[in-house]
Amino acid sequence: MEQFLAELARTDVGDVRHREPLSAYTTWKIGGPADVFVIPHDEKQLAAVLRLLRKHSVPWTNLGRGSNMLVSDKGIRGVVIQLGDGFDYVRFEGTLVHAGAAFSFIKLSVLAGKEGLTGLEFAGGIPGTVGGAVYMNAGAHGSEVSRIFKSADVVLETGELVRYGPGDMQFAYRHTVLHDRPGVVARATFELREGDRKEIAASLASYKDRRRRTQPLQLPCAGSVFRNPPGDHAARLIQEAGLKGLRSGGAEVSAQHANFIVNTGQATAEDVLALMATIRSTVNDRFGVDLVPEVLVVGER
């Protein structure tokens, strides 16, 4: 690690911080420190840090807006990468939308609607980045990234920039090839359709109102904790199991939406993990369904 840190200090990789608390970077407001926190501002810097990591066999984690991630209380060993402002952009070209991986997925849906482009309305409630949405094949309201995806430029661990088309991504429910083949999305292109601006705006407003009524957005949370099992909804199973309002330390199963765990003030990752374990075992005992976590659990345990 010392050799890596020495070479990192000599290399243009962007901003470098040490022992950076990750609770400030997750929507759950939970997480211990990263050994090293790197913010590359362009593809050259991103490629440079990835090559260094590979050269010295240092583990790394890519962090977007931390909206679908639980970071352990002990933090993350190695390096955490968060893309900087050079990846925060959008450009429209007819029905194509080109966006940097750090661009807000919610903002992208709003801007696309203002351009009279339909297909991204489902993204209006997904509080992550474009890169994170591509990585997870994020979805809501009956649609998902795979339905509008055209291509993504990915920087591999070797520093090589490759372009993945729909067939390369191996899209599945909340899964892509990026889970198995490490790399960082630098930008993505989506193919939308021309639509009516008023209808698109109405759909976005309807989804926003529904989120406000059904989701505990006033408290730190990370979105849906568990994947929906085939033909059912995790929230229904958790609610029917009588687990709404269940607490562990500062973490609580939301009384508003059973598939959300909220941070009521001083929740730790261990509090959240304890609730997740109780939910899984109770739902399994009651309904014979093994709920699969949708949130990514990362860091030292």
Residues noted as catalytic: 174, 224, 294
d(CA 35, CA 149): 34
How many CA atoms are closer than 13 Å to the CA of 142, on its beta-carbon side?
A: 2
213's enclosing H/E stretch is: helix 197-214
The pairs formed by 174-179 with CB atoms below 8 angstroms and a separation of 24 or more are 174/136, 174/137, 174/138, 174/139, 174/227, 174/294, 175/136, 175/137, 176/134, 176/135, 176/136, 176/137, 178/134, 178/135, 178/154, 179/135
d(CA 242, CA 238): 7
Task: List residues bridging with 36 in a β-sheet.
Answer: 18, 79
Strand blocks (E) in 135-182: 139-140, 143-144, 149-156, 161-164
- Residue found by looking up tokens 């998902």 in the block: 144
